[in-house]
A and B are shown apart, each in its own frame.
Chain A
Amino acid sequence: MQPFGLSFARALGAAALGVTLALPGLARAQQAPAAAANTFDAVKSRGQLVCGVNTGLAGFAQPDSQGVWRGFDVEYCRAVATAIFGDPNKVRYVPTTAQNRFTALQSGEVDVMARNTTWTLSRDTSLGLDFPAVNFYDGQGFMVKTALGVKSAKELEGATICVQPGTTTEQNLTDWARSNRIKFTPVVIERLEELVSAYVAGRCDAYTTDVSGLAATRSAQPKPADHLILPEVISKEPLALGVRQGDARFADVVRWTHFLLLSAEEFGITQANVDKLGNDPRPEVQRIIGKNGGLGPMLGLADDWAVKVVKAIGNYGEVFDRHLKPIGIQRGPNAQWNQGGLQFSPPFR
Chain B
Amino acid sequence: MSQTTIDPRLMRAPPKRKLRLSWADERIRGVVWQVLVVGIVGTIVWWLWSNTVHNLEVRKIATGFGFLTREAGLPVAESVIEYSPTDTYLRALTVGLLNTLKVAVVGIVLSTILGTVIGIARLSRNWLVAKLSAIYVEVIRDLPLLLQLLFWYTILQSLPGPRQAMQPVPGVFLSNRGLKLPWLDWQDAHSLALLALLLGAVVTWFYRRQALAKRILDGQPRRIWPVALGAMGALPVLVWAALGAPWTADWPELRGFNFRGGVTVSPEFFALLLGLVLYTAGFIAEIVRAGILAVPQGQWEAAQALGLHPGQVLRQIVLPQALRVIIPPMTSQYLNITKNSSLAVAIGYQDIVSIANTTLNQTGQAIEGIAIIMLVYLTISLSISLFMNWYNARIALVER
Contacts and interface: CB of A to CB of B under 8 A. Distances in A.
Contact of B364 (A98, A99, A102, A187): A102
Contact of B358 (A5, A99, A106): A99
A188 interface: yes
Nearest to A103: B366
A173 to B, nearest CB: 6
B55 interface: yes
A244 B154 CA distance: 39
A20 B58 CA distance: 13
Given A5-B342, A6-B343, A170 B357 contact: no
B258 interface: yes
A275 interface: no
B112 to A, nearest CB: 18
B13 to A, nearest CB: 49
Contacts of A99: 357-358, 361
Q: Is the interface of B mostly helix, strand, loop or mixed?
A: helix
Interface in A201-256: 201-203, 205, 244-246
A174 interface: yes
Interface residues of A, number: 68
Contacts of B361: 98-99, 102, 165-166
Nearest to B268: A187
Interface string B126-166: 00000000000000000011100010001001100100000
Given A24-B51, A165-B361, A160 B257 contact: yes
A36 interface: yes
B363 A126 contact: yes
**Which residue, A3, A5, A24, A245, has most C-beta atoms of chain B within 10 A?**
A5
Interface string A167-206: 0001101110010000011111111001101100111010
Contacts of A1: 144-145, 336, 340
Given A15-B370, A27-B58, A126-B364, A198 B342 contact: no
Given A21-B56, A173-B75, A189 B348 contact: yes
B52 A22 contact: yes
Interface in A112-134: 122-123, 125-128
Given A4-B339, A21-B55, A170-B74, A198 B369 contact: no
A265 B346 CA distance: 43
Interface in A1-22: 1, 3-7, 10-11, 13-15, 17-18, 20-22
B299 to A, nearest CB: 35
Contacts of A106: 59, 61, 364, 366
Contact of A14 (B60, B73, B268, B360): B360
B76 interface: yes
B256 interface: yes
Interface in B343-397: 343, 345-348, 350, 353-354, 357-358, 360-364, 366-367, 369-370, 373, 377
Nearest to B339: A3
Contact of B357 (A3, A27, A165, A205): A165
A35 B57 CA distance: 11
Given A99-B361, A201-B158, A17 B366 contact: yes
A246 B58 CA distance: 8
Interface string A15-41: 101101111101110000101100000
Interface of B: 48-49, 51-52, 54-56, 58-62, 73-77, 85-86, 144-146, 150, 154, 157-158, 161, 176-177, 255-258, 260, 267-268, 336, 339-340, 342-343, 345-348, 350, 353-354, 357-358, 360-364, 366-367, 369-370, 373, 377
Given A3-B377, A128-B61, 14 more contacts: A3-B342, A4-B342, A5-B342, A15-B370, A17-B366, A18-B370, A106-B59, A128-B60, A163-B75, A166-B358, A166-B361, A173-B75, A187-B348, A190-B345
